[in-house]
Structure 1
């Protein structure tokens, strides 16, 4: 039987993701109004080029940011640093070993930066038959370490068994809710989340709220505030990370969601 353990407790919007690109560098926003204090740049290095001005042994993109300056933003008091990745999923999966080696280099070069943890940006789903190599790569990297998973099935069976078959112990997981891509409803995502947390623990499986929606031309738009609110209602009592703030949650969207949050949960909690 599925149930909501903390039905009336507010969702804790702890973090936002960011896929670095030239348009949104440096990232700017007001996500702290939602309670966000953790920022997750999805990659430090992609296509063997660094998004950060820190000398980590890679050539740099035309725009880059300073990690210590990023840390000064109220929504980035904590940083979970994305490591080495690729834009193309198939390419990333085929180069997991090399990406893990590059990631270790990044970790070695960022020891002077206070970080909450690391995120290895090679995403996994049950169709990846060679996912064991990801588990092996993760086991070589220091903790705290995060990885993300998704499923193209609305209600995948035995997702917990699949995850347990390759995930190294002490590795934490971001579960992409699949609502933004149209795979499932927020309520279905919550049921999957509950099942995974029952097996791995609530602190080890965190839901990622997809703050976008697919359009008919195959692209994506920002989710409307009321769409995000429907997701947050389903994730009551949970820590929530938003994907992704700089691209899909502008200042006005944040104001609307923050106002709803304050009105709904005024007696439970306070949003800064």
Structure 2
């Protein structure tokens, strides 16, 4: 995992792909069912930038809108936040817990992402069964978050706040294009949203392009990505 994160730091660094890699690898290597990554802008507002699956997205968006949940608590305290059973009474975060349980999540752990002693975001780990995350898994999750954060922002020297703001601005701009491209491919190829994203990620890696660049070519209906329309079913990247 650590080697793979380091290998992602190529000359044309793709921060969106890097964060998706972190989320998906966290689900594969830790006893969790979904993961979401949030980064804070220069004003301290958290934004969702990557998720391991579409299951995490509605929960994270609810969290961001309500400002009631483990991500905000972890970000402001700088500590790992644990909730082994979201059904416990009284609920720690009433609205968040209700939304999470409805989506099938019963436990959550949120690990702060640090840069030079400053918290810049959080790695959120969701489980569909109640119970505490094993201590060794929590330690590994903190290591993933720390190494990934250092790797993510070391490519841009300067003040940490400025680096985070720049990355977040770029990431959010790229995410808009990626979402548009996913919608086009979903309609054009009659495939699911998750398959559309997987298709673009595979194509980007195979052709040595950034995911955002491939997405822009799709939205512009560029002939350079016509090969995407000839693939009936995307092959999993991992």
Same fold (TM over 0.5): no
TM-score w.r.t. the length of structure 1 is 0.29
Higher helix share: 2
User: What TM-score do the two structures reach when normalised by structure 2?
Assistant: 0.31
Does 1 or 2 have the higher relative contact order (CA < 8 Å, sep 6+)?
1
